[in-house]
Amino acid sequence: MSIKNNWWKILSVLLMLYVLTVGMLTPMKSGIYGVDSISLKASENTVVRVEGYNSNYDKATDLRAWLKFDSTHIIKAKRISVIDYKMADIAFDLNVTLPGTSEVLPATLIIDNEMDGYSIFPEGLVVTRNKMEGLKPLVSSSLNDLHQAKGFKFPYMNILHETIRNTFFHVAIWMAMFLLMTIGLIYSIMYLVKPTLKYDHVAYSYTAISLVYGVIGLATGAVWARFSWGAYWTNDVRLNMAAVAVLIYFAYFILRGSIEDQDKRNRFAAAFNIFAYLAMIPLLLIIPRLADSLHPGVGGNPAFSGEDLDNTLRMVFYPAIISLILLGVWIASLRTRIFQLEEKHIDKINKASFLVE
């Protein structure tokens, strides 16, 4: 075994170790975990108790807070009383003319200090308008010189919290699965064009490992759904279509197992693999996009692409994909070699089993 030919195996393991350590140990940026009550009544002294996450309210010197209605209506807090490192009471003077005419207004809470950087509670609060006469005009303050969080940290997102780390496993494993499945498909087509036993073995190996990836993808997704949606499995169209796709691929293995004649089995399996791949495309890529779904990337929900994927996440996410693909290729090549060895020593194996009997 030479390093020259097997460097990618070492790379895959190193990358996976990197993903596990950096992905799991990097701290989160400071954020706002929750407030005592999301509905505020506008008055001269509206107080909201904030619970921070990974925050240093007690140690920070320059602690500021704003309530933002839209880009031209921003109210600065008049008083902040810190209780401990993660608890603070923030008081606003809301006896002012609020924008618009509706009874209740959504508002975004922003907290900033020099130690944690700024953190946002997006549209998390609802302010009920004060209908009293003689309100002061609103003096909007600007959100300038906000602090940036220091060091290498993952972004904090409400609802997701720490589970944002699952991006490296759940999203990456589905992407790797698609690629491995496509390699399996290509070998199935090659088998039908030129029936060589090796092509069938390779197609089988890649399809098998991508099915394992699919099951892991469902499992990691279930864990994520438990923490962000509240249940391991929901009626969501994306989830159910993914499960059906995995079932179709299970049928591929049942088909292989149920046909005795080797030549016929390989041919049917290759044909079914192509058919299953074509049936999977609408399941995973088209139908979920047209239906309503909670899943990111579907029905107008933000996904981990473009601007939603923070640069710090990207530094772990891309290595995770590469590592999972390389690991998959490695496992598939091992499975293929087992086939080849079985092929080579088939006589010996038969003889041995005869002797045992």
Q: Tokens in use for 81?
A: 């009383």
Q: Tokens in use for 89?
A: 């009471």
Kindly state the smallest distance separating residue 143's Cβ from other proteins, in Å.
Answer: 39
Residues in 289-308 at the binding interface with other proteins, rule: CB under 8 A: 290
When asked if residue 285 is in the footprint of other proteins (CB under 8 A), the reply is: no
Distance CA 227, CA 348 (A): 53
Kindly state the smallest distance separating residue 214's Cβ from other proteins, in Å.
Answer: 13
Nearest to 313 by CA among 99, 167, 197: 167
When asked if residue 105 is in the footprint of other proteins (CB under 8 A), the reply is: no
When asked if residue 115 is in the footprint of other proteins (CB under 8 A), the reply is: no
Kindly state the smallest distance separating residue 29's Cβ from other proteins, in Å.
Answer: 39
Kindly state the smallest distance separating residue 302's Cβ from other proteins, in Å.
Answer: 22
Query: Residue 270 contacts by C-beta under 8 Å, 6 or more apart in sequence?
Result: 188, 189, 191, 192, 200, 203
Residues in 161-200 at the binding interface with other proteins, rule: CB under 8 A: 192
Report CA 280 to chain centroid distance, whole Å. 21
Q: Tokens in use for 176?
A: 């790797």
Query: Residue 306 contacts by C-beta under 8 Å, 6 or more apart in sequence?
Result: none
Of 270, 321, 324, 329, the one binding other proteins (CB under 8 A) is: 270
Distance CA 126, CA 140 (A): 19
Query: Residue 5 contacts by C-beta under 8 Å, 6 or more apart in sequence?
Result: none
Of 244, 294, 315, 322, the one binding other proteins (CB under 8 A) is: 244
When asked if residue 278 is in the footprint of other proteins (CB under 8 A), the reply is: yes
When asked if residue 287 is in the footprint of other proteins (CB under 8 A), the reply is: yes
- The SS3 call for residue 99 is coil
Window contacting other proteins (CB under 8 A); options: 57-65, 177-185, 258-266, 293-301: 258-266
Which is closer to other proteins, CB of 251 or CB of 303?
251
The footprint of other proteins (CB under 8 A) covers 192, 241, 244, 247-248, 250-251, 254-255, 258-259, 264, 267-268, 270-272, 274-276, 278-279, 281-283, 286-287, 290
